[in-house]
Amino acid sequence: MERRDFLKLIGITGAGAVTACDAKVGPQSLIPYVVPPDNITPGIPTWYASTCRECPAGCGTHVKTREGRVIKLEGNPESPVNRGKLCARGQAAHQNLYDPDRLKGPKRLVNGEYVDAQWEQATSALAAELRRLREAGGDPGSVVLLTGLQTGTRERLYDEWARAVGARRVVYEPFAYEPLLEANRRVFGESVLPSYDIEGAEFVISFGAEFLETWISPVRYAVEWSRMHAFRGDEAVEKGIFVAVEPRLSMTASNADEWVSVKPGTEYLIALAMANVLGAGGEAADWTPRRAAEATGVDAGTIERLAGLFRDKRSVALPGGISTSHSNATAAAVAVNLLNRAGGAIGDTVRFSTPVTGAVEGSYRAIVDLVAAMQTGAVKALLFADTNPVFSLPPALGFAEALRQVPFRVSFGPLFDETGAWCQWLLPDHTPLESWGDWIPQQGTVGIQQPAMRPVFNTRATPDVLLDVWRTAGDPAAAPATEGGWYEYLREAWSDRAPDERAWAEILRAGGVWEGAAVAPPAGQPTDGANLGRAGVGAAATGELGSGEPTDFAPPAYDGPSGEGTFDLVVFPQIALYDGRTANRPWLQELPDPASSVAWQTWVELHPEVADELGLVDGDVVTVESAHGSVQAPVIRYPGARRDTVALPLGRGHDRMGRYAAGRGVNPIALLPPTADSASGGFAWQGVRVGLTKTGTRVDPLRFQGSDSDEGRDLAEAVPMAAALRLASGEAEVHAEEPHLGEDIPLTVERVARDSDPDGPYRWGMAISLDACTGCNACVTACSAENNLPFVGPERVAKSRFMNWIRIERYLEAKPGGRIETHHLPMLCQHCGAAPCEPVCPVYATYHNPDGLNVQVYNRCVGTRYCSNNCPYKVRYFNWFQYEWPEPLNWGLNPDVLAREKGVMEKCTYCVQRINAAKIAIKDQGPDAVITEGMFQTACQQTCPTDAIVFGNLKDPESRVAKLAGGPLAYSALEHLNTRPANFYLKQVTDRSGVEAAAAEPVAAH
Amino acid sequence: MPMKASGWRRSLLPILVVMVAVSTVVAAAACEPKWKAQIAQDTTPVQPLQFMHDVHVTAESIPCAYCHYSTNVSEEAGIPPVGTCMGCHRFVAGTSDAFKTEIQKLIGFAADSQPVPWNRVYSVPSFVQFTHKPHVRAGITCSQCHGNVAGMVAVSRETPLTMGWCVNCHRDNGAPDDCATCHY
Amino acid sequence: MADTVKQKSGRAQAGVFRRVNRDILSTLQKPGLGWAAGMAVVLTVLAAGVTAEIYQIKVGLGVAGYEPPVMWAVYITNFVFWVGIAHSGTLISAILFLFRAQFRTAVYRVSETMTVFAVMTAGLFPLIHLGRVWYFYYLAPYPNERLLWPNFRSPLVWDFFAISTYFTISSVFLYVGLIPDIAAARDRARTKLRRRLYGALSLGWQGTDSQWRHYNRAYLFLAGLATPLVLSVHSVVSWDFAMAIVPGWHSTIFAPYFVAGAIFSGVAMVITLVVPLRKAFRLTDYIDEYHLDRLAKLLLLTSSIVFYAYLVEIWTAWYSGSPYERAIFWDRAFGQYAWASWIMYGCNCIIPLSLWFKRVRTSWFWMFIVSIFVNVGMWFERFVIIIQSLAHEFIPYQWDYYKPTWVEMAITAGSFAWFLMWFLLFIKFLPSMAISELKELLPPRLRRQKKEMEAA
């Protein structure tokens, strides 16, 4: 059957089908399909391959639907971008689809009020206006289609449409990384983003690139980073080193073996000096380590040592992201390019053969020009598609005011956001999960995007709207290539790749075409020097800059006075909220920040000693004031902040967009001047100096973390690389080094495996690598989606009543030389063999089952909460209230898992619904068939970008989990309590660069 | 001492009684579990059109799984789409007037492609994760749980669907009686 | 001659006994305004408590201040507190009876009723604190088709039995003790209703020799039966904590420590109740400094046991070498709950030291003050043990600070109202002192009076 017919069917029967599935949850009617759609069976999930559109990275996804409703997203293992993994944002994508605050249909502004409209009416109105403008013969700049970064067919449609209706398309992406493009153009003559081969490198140094959080393609780089860096003890091979040069201990920096804390805006000097040591001529020549040391406060020895590492190992240097883009961002990126070239990384670990999407040339410059044009009244009509400039541009730029000069304004945003509030027409687009499309994450890789369910509301795909407008208002000479709608347009665009329906079906199954899947070249051999632009080749050869123009390496311009009582402001993108587009997803609002563990609110990150000097404690509201604006937010003391800086996260502070976003936190962009990096025209996010004043009021700091330090309890263990290698190679005795409580009788896998039915084939368990865990929280959201975990809201988070079955505990450890070591400890139910929670439950609501699971029977629980008191790991969560799922958020509930009622204790079940499904499935292969490795994964394991979580059967000695848990780095949390946990942790491996050994020399003064 | 007790003392006991009564009633009302009502529902609901299982199963000897198509693969038994009905009833118009009228209803639904809003006869509380597939595979016949549908005009629920009923059968047949088999 | 003497003494005897009856039963007269006002206040507070509880059931336990990891809080504190109060009753009536400690006669009825009502109050809290109280019957072992039983390894199930047993025994004990006095009340009752009521309750008591003989046997027997409970019940309660692995709970000293604490708080509560009672009903002749002094000494003894237990706890924590145990007690003394800990140490260890002075022991005023302090202190002991320990467990990520909400306060206040309501009803409807036993051994002043009458 035709896919579209099938979708229609789901449409007709969708509601009914879902009632049928929900019938378990109450309604007593039973609605069958009219015509049974092929590939849909009630009670059996249907999967669609698609592409994640939560950020420009374009990860491949598999969308799980039940009875025509999306209930879960997982990474597409075939996609070369994310290789089966997703981040927290991707895992929460269907909370965008089911957002209760979405626009339910088209609306128009009638004297100050938004009233419902008809799609025909809306389209014709739009068409009429555009035709009027075109026939009035206004200059092509008078109609502007302002869109975010787009690739593939949608971009093509936007451009063709703009040409046809006499409009101008302006691309604005808040995180546009223009400086990187400009720097690459200057040094290599290629205005593209190369793909950085982190996986293939042995030494990675990042100059403010938050590549584990938001930078370019975070999931992809997290996967690569773990393969380069994670030491699990199953092989005695030394792993790579990662050094982060940043003004703030970001999540990315917290995973670095060494965090080089530098004065904001001087990161690039380290790169220059390193290039200098490596013998780069040109501008680098006069930046000796000594001179750089004076400017940055990092001592010369360190710089030389890092340069040495860069030379001796196969290395890559990553240019800066948002939190280091000052007014000299291009120069900074050039410096990193010089280092890469001097270190011979070009064509080896930095490859221009497969450029990646993620940067937009001249994005901010374009918007500045647009504002100018708007102010002169030259712009007659402005159409916004997938962008929210009113929120993400600094108010000082005056975009919103300029909008007053534009007579006709239309928003295609699915949500009524800050920009929408300025528009006369709201024509809500489908969300990505409802619409067709494609995306090109990197050259040669095209991800397909197909609707996984019928639109939830009366929305319409913007391309369809544009096509209609095009036909009526467009230049008749240039009619659209197809008679049909957006789907036909897309299909036609794919006709060369998919000539027939079979090829098309195959593409839909695979989720795209992966021609350009980058393969790591053998070390040291540049594979694609030829792919470099001429200048690049020349540059690689001669060591001169690619394009003629010289680069000025002067320090950035700081806005505002320096001196007593002022701080350098660092605004940084937060992993959960990106640029703020995901702010109305409750799961993401409630996701604790990896560094500060704060949720639901914007905080001011302050060094504890500074806070003490100012007499500030967590929760004290301060006014942060720059020359351009001021915001008020509570202080969070964070040892990872520098004394001379205050840091604020981006993404919150919406005053529209929906119930979860509006009024939560503040938007630090209000503090920024509309300054641009002179060379690239990119927005300068950093370089503002601010003052702090105490307001005297105090709010509840919404932190998950009780204590920053583990009080010397060694919950998250670590060993130096040298020792780890000795252990892995069997030279050293396991448990030899610093024995502590209970370690005299080390717990073995064999022992734990016995904690289940002796005749049964299973004892489920986990091996969690603390060396791989980055604290990115993807597992937390994945768990929420799989197990119907409610979000509890800020006032309940304040009472730490959060419901995350798995949480990442983050402990900071002070090291010699003022260094800080961060430990990320994923904590979830340990399914103990001798579980303290079991004997104390008066009603057997929790007990040990034949598979060795520690089961929680929700409908037996009466809520004495004794089990939680007696759980040393504190991983049991209580339903203090009947938690709400505002329609249609409840559509995303997993029908295979009970949504718990008030008064019941709940906790991690190792995804028992997946275990049972596998058990039922395996019996098809005979009564004695046994579940084998990889037949299913837990939700957290499935999505973990760094494979930190390995789940499996401890009774099977061949299983990966048994091997790792039996490995030299394995240990059990609170082993001395003899609870015999089924979760084994693999120790973190520290001090790879040998700094610890040479701790005599202090690394950074901060 | 005067015989008559003063006012407040006479009202003392009533006050107490009322307070206790009110609190218990409200508490009870607050916590009446929904699923109990669900179990105790009408065992023979009136259906939108009088489908005759006996005719189809006995007279026409159509196997259950012909209409309940996903029983052996899924947790849901699968309610036949109108299309499946029309497969035969495009030709079968009915012998008696009574039949004819009912079949006309069906054709009506099919005509304006509306699903038939059947009323549920069997349902388990949301905290029970029941799956048909393993039961069918284990050779449990439909009638063991659904009664002799072949002899019913309108289907009525003959089994209690209580936990004890499930558990006993599981025990007798050596099926798992681990709580996590059904409750999660 | 001798005859007249006997007659005289007989008359005197009768006169004094009549006076005893009159005095004690006078408490049963038509209540005055004071009593009415008291009852009104009590009922209002109780109503507030009930409202709070209904609200809590409707909305969810979240309306209480629970802040994970503090999963038990004020409700369990109240539970242990009231069970503790319950204890002295049985101690004073049963154990002291077996030891023939005469000073008990005046106060044992009060303390026994206190016991029963305190257990009735304590019994409410395990229910109030349940997440799904409407399924409370899962805790009871009853045959069911699902073949499900409660988990007999769980101390909470032990609690279930301990409390119910204790309630049964102590109420029977109270009732048996009451029989002769109810008979006395019956004989003096003026209203018909009362006569019939007391008549039924007194089980046709005539005061014949055989009845007295059987009565004394039964009473002795019950006393023997009740005595072990004093130790067992609160040991079981203490195991709710000692059986858990929570640092600060997991300690073998808990049973004796809790029993001592229970008696300590119980005696304090007896004093708190007796002092106003004595004034209100002009029973100064029956309860005097002599009794007070004895109670004070009992208080002093148990106080020093509790003090000792505190010290041992700390020493054990240090000696165990476990960083978690040590952290708990360091945090207890200097952490975020230090204020509560110091209230506890102050009220339970320091203030009772004043009882070394006879002047304090025999001063009604000071003893009342001290007893109040001890009550407060013992409540805070449970508060600290439960909440502070839970707030500072193994995983530093999960450390938090708990504050109670109005709901918990209302319900706590309600529990005191509930207790006082029963107590007020009791003193109005049943003799609050053991008439018969008072007659056996007349309090000093009456003895003097008897002598005078004989002399006359």
Q: Give the number of C-alpha atoms closer than 13 A to the C-alpha of residue C77, restricted to the C-beta side.
A: 29
Yes or no, beta carbons of B162 and C145 under 8 Å apart = yes
pLDDT above 80: residue A774: yes
Segment A578-590 shows an average pLDDT of 95
Token pair, residue A249, equals 């201990």
Q: Find how far residue C413's CA is from the centre of its chain.
A: 16
Yes or no, beta carbons of C43 and B15 under 8 Å apart = yes
Nearest partner of A906 among A827, A966, A846, judged by Cα = A846
Distance separating alpha carbons of residues A667 and A681, to the nearest angstrom:
23
Res A607: pLDDT: 95
Asked if A514 is an interface residue toward chain B (Cβ–Cβ < 8 A), one would say: no
Output the 3-class SS for A20-31: HHHHHHCCCEEC
Per-residue model confidence as pLDDT tens digits over B67-98? 998 898 888 888 888 888 888 898 888 888 88
Res C9: pLDDT: 66
Report pTM: 0.90
Q: Find how far residue A147's CA is from the centre of its chain.
A: 21
Mutation pick from C42, C44, C133, C134 vs chain B, by most beta carbons of B within 10 Å, is C134
Chain B: closest CA distance from residue C212 (Å): 31
Res A9: pLDDT: 37
pLDDT above 90: residue A528: no
Nearest partner of A845 among A906, A895, A910, A790, judged by Cα = A906
Size of the A and C interface in Cβ pairs below 8 Å: 164
Segment B13-21 shows an average pLDDT of 71
Res A740: pLDDT: 54
Q: Which parts of A594-743 fold into alpha helices (H)?
A: 608-613, 721-728
Chain A residues close to C394, C-beta within 8 Å = 713, 872-874, 974, 977
| Helical axes C74-90 vs C406-429, angle rounded to 10° | 20
**What is the residue-averaged pLDDT of chain A?**
88
Chain C residues close to B16, C-beta within 8 Å = 421
* Cβ-nearest to C145 among B26, B30, B164: B164
* Cβ-nearest to B70 among A26, A35, A43: A43
Q: Find how far residue C241's CA is from the centre of its chain.
A: 21
Backbone CA torsion sign across C153, C154, C159, C165: negative
Per-residue model confidence as pLDDT tens digits over A86-128? 999 999 999 999 999 999 999 999 999 999 999 999 999 999 9
pLDDT above 50: residue A593: yes
* DSSP letters for C240-304: HHHTS--TTT--TTHHHHHHHHHHHHHHHHHHHHHHHHHHHTT-TTTS-HHHHHHHHHHHHHHHH
Chain C: closest CA distance from residue B40 (Å): 17
Res B114: pLDDT: 86
C216 burial (CB, 10 Å; 0-12 / 13-18 / 19+) is exposed
Residues A965/A730, Cβ–Cβ less than 8 Å: no
Hey, which chains touch C, using 3+ CB pairs under 8 Å? Answer: A, B
Mutation pick from B127, B173, B177 vs chain A, by most beta carbons of A within 10 Å, is B127
Yes or no, beta carbons of C151 and A844 under 8 Å apart = yes
Res C112: pLDDT: 86
**Which ipTM did the prediction report?**
0.89
- Pairing, β A630-637 against β A604-606: parallel
Query: Which residue of chain A has the CA closest to B37?
Result: A26
Chain A: closest CA distance from residue B21 (Å): 23
Q: How does DSSP classify residue C200?
A: H
Chain B residues close to A19, C-beta within 8 Å = none
- Pairing, β A876-878 against β A566-572: unpaired
Asked if C47 is an interface residue toward chain B (Cβ–Cβ < 8 A), one would say: yes
Res B29: pLDDT: 60
Size of the B and C interface in Cβ pairs below 8 Å: 50
Residue window 46-65, chain C: list those with CB within 8 Å of chain A: 59-62, 65
Distances (CA, A) of C346 to A897, C296, C303: 52, 17, 11
Token pair, residue B19, equals 């307070």
Segment A338-352 shows an average pLDDT of 91
Residue window 323-342, chain C: list those with CB within 8 Å of chain A: 323-324, 327
Res B34: pLDDT: 62
Lowest mean pLDDT among A304-313, A478-487, A593-602, A952-961: A478-487
Per-residue model confidence as pLDDT tens digits over C28-86? 677 778 888 999 999 999 999 999 999 999 999 999 999 999 999 999 999 999 999 88
Q: Which parts of A872-984 fold into alpha helices (H)?
A: 912-922, 939-943, 960-965
Res A874: pLDDT: 95
Residues with Cβ within 8 Å of residue C14, at least 6 apart in sequence: none
Nearest partner of A518 among A972, A208, A79, judged by Cα = A79
Per-residue model confidence as pLDDT tens digits over A843-885? 999 999 999 999 999 999 999 999 999 999 999 999 999 998 9
Asked if C191 is an interface residue toward chain B (Cβ–Cβ < 8 A), one would say: yes
Res C56: pLDDT: 95
Yes or no, beta carbons of B69 and A33 under 8 Å apart = no
Distance separating alpha carbons of residues C195 and C30, to the nearest angstrom:
15
Residues C300/C352, Cβ–Cβ less than 8 Å: yes
Chain C: closest CA distance from residue B105 (Å): 44
Lowest mean pLDDT among A324-333, A570-579, A862-871, C441-450: C441-450
Distance separating alpha carbons of residues A208 and A248, to the nearest angstrom:
9
| Helical axes C74-90 vs C209-242, angle rounded to 10° | 150
Segment C139-159 shows an average pLDDT of 89
Mutation pick from C57, C136, C196 vs chain B, by most beta carbons of B within 10 Å, is C57
Nearest partner of A737 among A722, A753, A757, judged by Cα = A722
Residues A859/B127, Cβ–Cβ less than 8 Å: yes
The helix or strand, by DSSP H or E, that contains position A645, with its residue range, turns out to be: strand A645-649
Per-residue model confidence as pLDDT tens digits over A463-510? 999 999 999 888 777 888 888 899 999 999 999 999 999 999 999 999
Token pair, residue C68, equals 């994970």
Hey, which chains touch A, using 3+ CB pairs under 8 Å? Answer: B, C
- Pairing, β A143-147 against β A381-385: parallel
Cis peptide before A888 (omega within 30 of 0): yes
Segment A731-741 shows an average pLDDT of 59
Segment B39-67 shows an average pLDDT of 84
Cis peptide before C69 (omega within 30 of 0): yes
* Cβ-nearest to B180 among A33, A34, A912: A912
Q: How does DSSP classify residue A396?
A: G
Yes or no, beta carbons of C145 and B23 under 8 Å apart = no
User: Residue A197's CB: how many other CB atoms inside 10 A?
Assistant: 22
B32 burial (CB, 10 Å; 0-12 / 13-18 / 19+) is exposed
pLDDT above 90: residue C193: no
Res B40: pLDDT: 57
- Pairing, β A764-769 against β A983-986: parallel
Yes or no, beta carbons of A711 and C150 under 8 Å apart = no
Hey, which chains touch B, using 3+ CB pairs under 8 Å? Answer: A, C
Query: B48 pLDDT band (50/70/90 cuts)?
Result: confident
Mutation pick from A9, A35, A904, A919 vs chain B, by most beta carbons of B within 10 Å, is A35
Distance separating alpha carbons of residues A569 and A558, to the nearest angstrom:
10
Nearest partner of A354 among A520, A223, A498, judged by Cα = A520
Residue window 78-137, chain C: list those with CB within 8 Å of chain B: 132-134
Token pair, residue A886, equals 């505002």
Distance separating alpha carbons of residues C436 and C442, to the nearest angstrom:
10
* DSSP letters for B64-91: HHHHSTTTTTSSS--PPPHHHHHHHHTT
Mutation pick from B3, B13, B23 vs chain C, by most beta carbons of C within 10 Å, is B23
